[in-house]
């Protein structure tokens, strides 16, 4: 692996949850792997008054906890030398002088501003950086999700950031795209000739994408209660996965070639408006239950959540993509907190044989491709085979690929990959402005329809697969969710 060029990474919100839990441990790992230039500094910036030593102590504690068995004292000591801290209120221009004093201006030195704060600060930070003379051609800015809460607010942020940074300098994160398993999905589709002839309406009956979590809102109650599952998971992660599954083969892996194809999928999504949105979506909210045998509180009892909240913690929906390839193929998407299992998977159900020559009727969904993204990574291809014996009795069998057994090297966390891509100037796994807009354009009518409908989300018990209406949504088409079939 080649080392990065010299760099400075400034993490706005450097003492926040994301920075301490994900970003700094990811940088530690890359330092340990030798991927970072020896001449590279990491500066945390936030309002809290911390000395450099205090900050290093906080980052150390976070790395011990989140790096786990890969934490080594000798590696930490050299990593800590990269760290610095600036007390800065991002809304106050005068505070940027402290940052300017710490940054080295050198040609060819990459500078990354990672905005790990609420999106309401993004515009101000970019403009204050510009006014302080801190924006250079080698500068890149990373924008965390959620980028706004609707099309207008997302576009206002994008517009304001674009006044300071060119599109090639803007890295909009969707950390799902950094997951090895998600990139494997791209490899599976476009690195094998096998699937392409089958990949469309002639062979595929339906596609199901599930992102189920066992965790609740953890310490992010106020954020989540103001956001909900549709904005938190569907607008970004689920739609990005859908794009990878449904897009046409790009001409290359170049950023714009891939992003152009994803954009076409988003534009081809059939709008869910008014009654269509109500009919084809299910909102849920968890109630007290048990996860893995331990009792957990209901959503309304969580810290920072309004006791009469109508925020959804579960969404299931059916959509279609109006293109020649996908006409008539339902795509079922589902995500939820406090679900029975932690599962991220894509299930592609193939059509039945057109005419069975066997006396036994074919099992529905007999041919199925299951792509497991989380917690285990694997691909299973379900087929029918003859059971041993004198009779022609068919049984379902699975060809099973377990990535952990096939590739034994340490699997990098999504943020490791994305931070390195940003250092190396690779935009393929980041979202372009028009993609984000197209996603919001499709999501907004669903939010409007829900507001108009005025119903509360349907209750579901923590530790289940969501409200019964979710099974009914798929059942209406004559199908069933993967775990029910
Ligand atoms: N946590 C997660 O798992 C994920 C988070 N995200 C996104 O990442 C961003 C950060 O989230 P998270 O770390 O959870 O949030 P936190 O609330 O934990 O952290 C926010 C950070 O911003 C700093 N901050 C707030 N206001 C200012 C200001 N005016 N000037 C300078 N610094 C400020 C805070 O420090 P201080 O108060 O000292 O100023 C703190 O370091 C959000 O946009 C979130 O949606 C996205 C995906 C996952
Ligand atoms: O972006 C988010 O993702 C996490 C789930 O990510 P994962 O990598 O653990 O699958 C989710 O918990 C969080 O609510 C959301 O903001």
What separation in Å is there between the alpha carbon of 147 and the centre of ligand 1?
Answer: 13
How much of the chain, in percent, has pLDDT values that exceed 70? 99
What separation in Å is there between the alpha carbon of 16 and the centre of ligand 1?
Answer: 5
What separation in Å is there between the alpha carbon of 215 and the centre of ligand 2?
Answer: 10
Q: Return the CATH architecture of domain 177-484.
A: 2-Layer Sandwich (3.30)
Query: Is the pLDDT assigned to residue 417 strictly greater than 70?
Result: yes
C-alpha 263/C-alpha 276 separation (Å) is 23
Query: Is the pLDDT assigned to residue 122 strictly greater than 80?
Result: yes
Atom 14 of ligand 2: nearest residue by CA position: 232
Atom 37 of ligand 1: nearest residue by CA position: 47
Query: Is the pLDDT assigned to residue 290 strictly greater than 90?
Result: yes
Interval 383-403: pLDDT, tens: 999 999 998 888 889 999 888
Q: Band the pLDDT of 480: cuts 50, 70, 90.
A: very high
What separation in Å is there between the alpha carbon of 413 and the centre of ligand 2?
Answer: 13
Ligand lying closest to the C-alpha of residue 62: 1
Q: Band the pLDDT of 65: cuts 50, 70, 90.
A: very high
Q: Which two tokens stand for residue 110?
A: 């990459």
| Annotated binding-site residue? 145 | yes
What separation in Å is there between the alpha carbon of 171 and the centre of ligand 1?
Answer: 17
Interval 230-287: pLDDT, tens: 999 999 999 999 999 999 999 999 999 999 999 999 999 999 999 999 999 999 999 9
Contact 266, 438 (CB under 8 A): yes
Contact 48, 15 (CB under 8 A): yes
Radius of gyration, alpha carbons of the chain:
24
Indicate which atom in ligand 1 lies nearest the CA of residue 220.
14
Q: Which fold has domain 7-144?
A: Rossmann fold (3.40.50)
Query: In terms of C-beta density within 10 A (0-12 exposed, 13-18 middle, 19 or more buried), how is residue 230 classed?
Result: buried
Mean per-residue pLDDT for 404-423? 91
| CA distances, 282 to each of 140, 216, 277, 454 (Å) | 39, 19, 9, 13
Indicate which atom in ligand 2 lies nearest the CA of residue 145.
1
Interval 16-28: pLDDT, tens: 999 999 999 999 9
| Annotated binding-site residue? 61 | no
Interval 188-229: pLDDT, tens: 999 999 999 999 999 999 999 999 999 999 989 999 999 999
What separation in Å is there between the alpha carbon of 301 and the centre of ligand 2?
Answer: 21
Query: In terms of C-beta density within 10 A (0-12 exposed, 13-18 middle, 19 or more buried), how is residue 339 classed?
Result: buried
Ligand lying closest to the C-alpha of residue 335: 2
Query: Is the pLDDT assigned to residue 1 strictly greater than 70?
Result: no
Catalytic residues: 237
C-alpha 407/C-alpha 134 separation (Å) is 42
What region does 218 belong to: left with phi over 0, alpha with psi -120 to 50, or beta?
A: left
Contact 126, 160 (CB under 8 A): yes
Residue 314 forms beta bridges with which residues? 284, 336
Contact 473, 199 (CB under 8 A): no
Q: What residue spans define the domains of the chain? A: 7-144, 177-484
Contact 146, 119 (CB under 8 A): yes
Atom 43 of ligand 1: nearest residue by CA position: 118
Atom 13 of ligand 2: nearest residue by CA position: 232
| Annotated binding-site residue? 175 | yes
Ligand lying closest to the C-alpha of residue 50: 1
Contact 43, 12 (CB under 8 A): no
Q: Give the model's pLDDT for residue 485.
A: 84
Mean per-residue pLDDT for 59-65? 97
Atom 21 of ligand 1: nearest residue by CA position: 13
What region does 124 belong to: left with phi over 0, alpha with psi -120 to 50, or beta?
A: alpha
3-state SS track over the chain: CCCCCCEEEEEECCCCHHHHHHHHHHHHHHHHCCCCCCCEEEEEEECCCCCHHHHHHHHHHHHHHHHHHHCCHHHHHHHHCCEEEEECCCCCHHHHHHHHHHCCCCCCCEEEEEECCCHHHHHHHHHHHHHCCCCCCCEEEEECCCCCCCHHHHHHHHHHHHCCCCHHHEEECCHHHHCHHHHHHHHHHHCCCCCHHHCCCCCEEEEEEEEECCCCCCCCHHHHHCCHHHHHHHHHHHHHHHHHHHCCCCCCCCHHHHHHHHHHHHHHECCCCHHHHHHHEEEEEEECEEECCEEECCHHHCCCCCCCCCCCCEEEEEECECCCCCCCCCEEEEEECCECCCEEEEEEEECCCCCCCCCCCCCCCCCEEEEEEECCCEEEEEEEEECCCCCCCEEEEEEEEEHHHHCCCCCCCHHHHHHHHHHHCCCCCCECHHHHHHHHHHHHHHHHHHHHHCCCCEEEECCECCCHHHHHHHHCCCCCCHHHC
Atom 3 of ligand 2: nearest residue by CA position: 233
Q: Band the pLDDT of 358: cuts 50, 70, 90.
A: confident
Averaged pLDDT score across all residues of the chain: 95
Ligand lying closest to the C-alpha of residue 215: 2
Query: Is the pLDDT assigned to residue 382 strictly greater than 80?
Result: yes
The whole model's pTM is what?
0.95
> For a substitution probing ligand 2, which of 143, 217, 237, 346 has the most ligand atoms within 8 Å of its CB?
237
> For a substitution probing ligand 2, which of 118, 174, 175, 238 has the most ligand atoms within 8 Å of its CB?
175
Interval 301-354: pLDDT, tens: 999 999 999 999 999 999 999 999 999 999 999 999 999 999 999 999 999 988
> For a substitution probing ligand 1, which of 11, 15, 18, 227 has the most ligand atoms within 8 Å of its CB?
18
Q: Band the pLDDT of 362: cuts 50, 70, 90.
A: low
Indicate which atom in ligand 2 lies nearest the CA of residue 237.
1
């Amino acid at each position: 692996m080649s080392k990065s060029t010299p760099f400075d990474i400034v993490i706005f919100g450097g003492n926040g949850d994301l920075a301490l839990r994900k970003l700094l441990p990811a940088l530690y790992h890359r330092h340990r792997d030798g991927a970072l230039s020896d001449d590279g500094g990491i500066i945390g910036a936030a309002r809290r008054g911390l000395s450099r030593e205090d900050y290093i102590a906080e980052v150390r504690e976070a790395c011990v906890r989140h790096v786990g068995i890969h934490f080594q004292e000798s590696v930490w000591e050299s990593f800590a030398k990269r760290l610095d801290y600036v007390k800065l209120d991002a809304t106050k221009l005068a505070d940027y002088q402290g940052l300017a004093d710490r940054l080295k201006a050198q040609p060819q030195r990459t500078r990354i501003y990672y905005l790990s704060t609420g999106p309401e600060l993004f515009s101000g930070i970019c403009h204050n950086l510009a006014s302080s003379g801190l924006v250079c051609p080698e500068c890149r800015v990373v924008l965390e999700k959620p980028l706004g809460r609707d099309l207008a607010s997302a576009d206002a942020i994008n517009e304001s950031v674009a006044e300071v940074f060119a599109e090639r300098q803007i890295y909009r994160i969707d950390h799902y795209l950094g997951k090895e398993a998600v990139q494997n999905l791209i490899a599976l589709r476009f690195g094998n000739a096998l699937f392409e002839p089958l990949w469309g309406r002639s062979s595929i009956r339906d596609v199901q994408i599930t992102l189920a979590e066992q965790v609740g809102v953890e310490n992010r109650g106020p954020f989540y209660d103001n956001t909900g599952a549709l904005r938190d998971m569907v607008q970004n992660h689920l739609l990005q996965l859908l794009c990878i599954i449904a897009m046409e083969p790009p001409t290359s892996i170049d950023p714009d070639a891939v992003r152009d194809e994803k954009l076409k999928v988003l534009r081809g999504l059939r709008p869910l408006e008014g009654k269509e949105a109500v009919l084809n979506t299910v909102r849920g909210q968890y109630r007290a239950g048990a996860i893995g045998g331990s009792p957990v509180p209901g959503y309304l009892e969580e810290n920072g959540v309004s006791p009469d909240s109508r925020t959804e913690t579960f969404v299931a929906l059916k959509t279609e993509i109006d293109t020649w390839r996908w006409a008539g193929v339902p795509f079922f998407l589902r995500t939820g907190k406090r679900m029975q299992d932690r599962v991220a998977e894509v299930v592609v159900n193939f059509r039945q044989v057109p005419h069975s020559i066997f006396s036994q009727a074919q099992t529905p969904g007999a041919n199925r491709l299951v792509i497991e993204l989380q917690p285990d990574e694997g691909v299973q291809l379900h087929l029918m085979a003859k059971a041993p014996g004198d009779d022609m009795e068919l049984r379902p069998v699975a060809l099973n690929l377990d990535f952990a057994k096939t590739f034994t090297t340490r699997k990098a966390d999504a943020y490791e990959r994305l931070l390195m891509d940003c250092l190396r100037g690779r935009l393929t796994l980041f979202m372009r402005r028009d993609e984000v807009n197209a996603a919001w354009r499709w999501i907004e009518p669903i939010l409007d329809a829900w507001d108009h409908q005025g119903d509360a989300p349907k209750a579901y018990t923590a530790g289940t697969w969501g409200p019964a209406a979710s099974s009914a949504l798929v059942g209406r088409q004559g199908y069933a969710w993967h775990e029910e079939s």
